[in-house]
Amino acid sequence: MPIHKVKLVVLYKRSARDPEGETIARELRKMGINAVKSVRVGKIFVFEVEAESREDAITIVRDLAEKVRLFNPIVHEAWVNTSCLE
């Protein structure tokens, strides 16, 4: 079976505060970069998954992320895709 690279992105929800992102946005504006209206900082997990298809690989990662709580749905939003990976 082929190996697929799958990306899981975890960010704070807009309803939850994100001190790291807020600080970066504030400091960027202090430097005069006013085009930046907000920044959110999160985590990316890159998995190499053996699966028949990309869709199967995405399903595997989505399911495991929920099962072992790689994100906490109370404060995080997360999504899975295979884009932006070499």
Binding site for another protein (CB under 8 A): 12, 15-17, 19-20, 23, 68-70, 72, 74-75
Is the CB of 31 or the CB of 68 nearer to another protein? 68
User: How near is the Cβ of 47 to another protein at its closest, in Å?
Assistant: 14
- Tell me whether residue 39 or residue 75 sits nearer to another protein (CB atom): 75
3 state DSSP class of 28: helix
16 vs 33 by CB, closer to another protein: 16
Beta bridge partners of 3: 50
∠ CA 68-74-72, rounded to 5°: 20
CB of 7 to another protein, least distance (A): 16
Residue 8 C-beta-side C-alpha neighbours within 13 Å: 22
Distance in Å, CB of 66 to another protein, minimum: 13
CA distance 71 to 48: 19
